[in-house]
Amino acid sequence: MRIRNVKNKEEILNQSKYLIKNPKDYIGKWHTIFNNHNPIYIEIGMGKGKFIIENAKMYPNINFIGIERQDSILAKCIKKIDEKIPNLIIIRMNALIIDEVFSKEIDRIYLNFSDPWPKKRHHFRRLTSNIFLDKYDKIFKETKEIYLRTDNQDLYTYSIETLSNHNYYLKNISLNLHKELLEEKLITTEYEDKFVKENKPIYSLVATSNQCLK
Active-site positions read: 115
Nearer to ligand SAM, 10 or 115 (CB): 115
DSSP-assigned letters across all residues of 92-121: ES-GGGGGGT--S-B-EEEEES-----SGG
Footprint (CB under 6 A) of ligand SAM, residues 11-70:
44-47, 67-70
For the CB of residue 124, give the shortest distance to ligand SAM in the complex, in Å.
11
Q: Do residues 127 and 44 make contact, with C-beta atoms less than 8 angstroms apart?
A: yes
Q: Do residues 158 and 194 make contact, with C-beta atoms less than 8 angstroms apart?
A: no
User: DSSP secondary-structure letter at 140?
Assistant: B
| Closest CA relative to residue 45, chosen from 2, 93, 87, 13 | 93
For the CB of residue 167, give the shortest distance to ligand SAM in the complex, in Å.
23
For the CB of residue 46, give the shortest distance to ligand SAM in the complex, in Å.
6
Is 113 an interacting residue with respect to ligand SAM (CB under 6 A)? Answer: yes
The CA-CA-CA angle for residues 192, 43, 95, to 5°, reads: 115
Is 94 an interacting residue with respect to ligand SAM (CB under 6 A)? Answer: yes
Considering only 12-20, 133-141, 185-193, 204-212, which stretch makes contact with ligand SAM by CB under 6 A?
Answer: 185-193
Which residues of the chain form contacts with ligand SAM (CB under 6 A)? 44-47, 67-70, 73, 94-96, 112-115, 189-192
